[in-house]
Structure 1
Amino acid sequence: MTKLSRRQFLATTSAAGASALLASPALAQSKELVVGTWGGTFGDLLKANVDEALLVPQGYDVLQEISGPVPRRTKLITERMQRRGSMDAALLADFDMHAAARVGALETLDAGNVPNYDTILPFLKKKTSVPLIYSAHVIVYRKDLVKTPPTSVQALWDPAYKGKIGLSDFLYTSNMAYAAVANGGTVDNYANAEKGVEGWKALEAKLLPSTEAVGQALASGDIWLTIISAARGYSWQKSGIDLAWCVPEEGAFPAVYEAGVPKNARHPEAGLAYMNALLTPDAQVAFAEKMGYLPTVKSAKISPELEARIGFSEAEQNRLWTPDLDFIMENQAGLLDTWNRILKG
């Protein structure tokens, strides 16, 4: 029999103890995963249906870094020159994600590093991000207060609604697209958008700081009409607010929200795991059922009844605008300056 010295015995038992700890899922060290995202209802749904349902069981400790889209996009772009960034996954609207991709801040994604990538609907597939959810920014209105259902973007400048139009501050890009189209411009150049914003100022449109604030203002009757995603209209309708929405005859701004992994993420494997989790059918269906956003993957199936309530007819789909994301990226600072100068000045 081989005899072990006391030092050898202690080394052997320590190694065995460490192996046992690593083998135990309950005691294994968790893997940190920092996600830059919105808060509120959106953050709660992510936490319940993605973080806790899918990633915590895999050993990830998911930390939501909650902020507005402008500071999050700025951080993603400015941190790209650093050796390590502060986020492992970042969620943004498509035009903000496009800006990050243009400057090389995002990892390339494909079926090799995101197994669910090939289930993405073809028209939403991109090389540096995955689509989390989509809908369209439409006219959402109080059905009991707006007696004539709107059909045109011009309803948002109707003097009859003076003091009753609400605008989400952080949706200034899509709001200004509406302002441009209403005044003879297009989503390719935003010509005359300033005129439309000045029109809102004259009509005493209420500027609201968050999506939740828009919902509260609709519920109280403080505002009667707004520009926001049909998905939000659906979720607020479920909560008991008498709402309806329309895709105007002139069209509407698509609402696509995406996720990407910074090239300098501290834990890139964790970020890639997050991308894959976002594309799972259960997570996609949860966003459809609870918030009214349409699934972005072929593998997620929702009921015909839900599809009828949150989907878009072929005619409505054909009216959705195709924004020039390069134009938006190159002019976003100027658009924001115009928005702030007129409505906050």
Structure 2
Amino acid sequence: MLSRLRQRLPQLLCAWLMCVMPLVAHAGDVLRVLAWPGYADPDVVKAFEQRTGARVEITFVDSDEVLWQRITQNQAEDFDLFAVNTAELQRYIPKGLVVPINTRAIPNTHLQLPRFQQLKSIPGIVHGNQAYAVPYTYSEMGLIYDRAQFATPPNSIQALWDPKYKGRVLVYNGGTHNFSLAAQMLGDKTPFQVDAKEWPAAVQQLLALRRNALTFYTQPEESVEWFKRSKAALLFANYGSQQVKLLQAAGLNVGYTIPKEGALAWLDCWAITRGAKNMALAEAWIDYMLEPEPGQVLLSRQGLANTTSESPYLHPGDRLIWLEPVEDVDRRNLLWSRIVSGDRANKVLAP
């Protein structure tokens, strides 16, 4: 037995070193992470700190604009990495605020589902044959419906416009996504680029949606309150499965479906800033976040899908349309504000 132990000693020593080396390599280091609520819960962070010996400083944001402000206010020197969706990522790359990621240094990318390993097939991640982010979590903007008011699940976004549900439809209060929704209704293959001649038709679609809607929500918790209090029939779920989980937790009998036109979907990734002080530690964080435990936390606590296992909210054949930069964010939001205020089409489109 002693001889066998001696034979295995080099293997045991190697295994021990593999466990200890990360602690030695990162002990005393600080990792500065900018993330969304639910992406870095205290117990998840603590496990990473214990494994690496590093200390993690988490700063949370609640909007894309705040994220932009925090990264740009000191030319990305205040954080090592951050979570950002693929459409927003396009703002950071040309400004040189993020750096290419060596995916070979993140072995857990091999645990991801094939569609998330094929980075070139995801709009916005790869530029000049270099990857600038690693997919982490996502959610689609499906339709949530009250099972008591639908004999069968709605299979099209046209249900949002159905006069049968007038005054019982909840819509997200955002011009960017709503104009993409209108473009889908018009049959556009690229809902993120509204052609000049299509603006009047898109506005008419959203004016009709306004007339059919009960109200417009901003935060997911707000949508739950409206759905419950007003006995809503249908909800355009800007936060997708996250809202499903919240509504079910509130005791509501709701279903969730992806329309036949496909669902707009955001994909949040981890990106490393040009101000990162310890590239290896930032890579270790991304690698850790792709392990099963953090991924399960996302699903069980937030209702958000991870990139290493199939989402229980989706079915084979469901089509997701990853968000891309739109032709004019400011114009979309301006026109939407006029639509919500009750203006007619000619005033909405006025210069």
TM-score (norm. length: structure 2): 0.72
Matched, 1:197 2:206: yes
Structure 1 CA distance for aligned equivalents of residues 61 and 207 of structure 2: 32
| CA distance, structure 2, for counterparts of residue 101 and residue 266 of structure 1 | 19
Identity score, percent? 19
Residue 261 of structure 2 is matched in structure 1 by 250
1:259-278 superposed matches below 5 A:
259-265=270-276, 268-278=279-289
Q: 2:141 maps to which residue?
A: 137
Which residue number corresponds to residue 120 of structure 1? 112
Distance 1:33 1:144, change over 3 A: farther
Please show how residues 13-162 of structure 1 align to structure 2 within 5 Å.
31-39=29-37, 42-43=38-39, 46-48=40-42, 50-55=44-49, 57-58=51-52, 59-76=54-71, 78-79=72-73, 82=74, 84-124=76-116, 125=119, 126=125, 127-147=131-151, 149-162=153-166
Aligned to 1:168: 172
Compared with structure 1, are the counterparts of its residues 56 and 143 closer, same or farther at alpha carbon in structure 2 (3 Å cutoff)? farther
Asked if 1:290 corresponds to 2:288, the answer is: no
Deviations 1:250-276 (A, max 9, x none): 221123222212212456554333322
Q: How many residues align?
A: 297
Which deviates more, 238-247 or 259-268?
259-268
Does residue 311 of the first structure (1) align with residue 314 of the second (2)? Answer: yes
Query: Whole-Å Cα distance in 1 between the matches of residues 160 and 291 of structure 2?
Result: 38
Decide whether aligned partners of structure 1 residues 232 and 129 sit closer, same or farther in structure 2, where only a CA change above 3 A counts: same
Structure 2 residues not aligned, in runs of 5+: 1-22, 120-124, 126-130, 343-351
1:54 Cα shift? 2.3
Q: Is the 8 A contact 1:141 1:226 kept in 2?
A: yes
5+ long unaligned stretches in structure 1: 1-24
Tell me whether 1:232 sits opposite 2:242 in the alignment: yes
Partners of 2:75 and 2:181 lie apart in 1 by: 40
Distance 2:283 2:338 in 1: 40
Whether the aligned pair in 2 keeps the contact of 1:73 and 1:92 (CA below 8 Å) is no
Matched, 1:220 2:220: no
Distance 1:85 1:121, change over 3 A: same
Question: Does the C-alpha gap of structure 1 residues 209 and 235 become closer, same or farther in structure 2, counting only changes over 3 Å?
Answer: same
Quickly say closer, same or farther: Cα 1:98–1:160, change in 2 above 3 A: same
Query: Cα RMSD (Å) of the superposition?
Result: 3.1
Which residue number corresponds to residue 122 of structure 2? none
C-alpha distance in structure 2 between counterparts of 1:258 and 1:96, whole Å: 10
Question: Following the alignment from structure 2 to structure 1, what is the Cα–Cα distance between the partners of residues 270 and 242?
Answer: 20
Displacement of 1:295 in angstroms is 2.9
Shift of 1:181: 1.3
Query: Partner letter of residue 96 of structure 1?
Result: E
Change (3 A) 1:245 1:60: same
Provide closer, same or farther for how the CA distance between residues 237 and 331 of structure 1 changes in structure 2, counting only shifts above 3 A: same
Moved more, 229-238 or 131-140: 229-238
Partner AA of 2:160 in structure 1: L
Task: Check 1:92–1:205 CA distance in 2 against 1; reply closer, same or farther (3 A cut).
Answer: farther
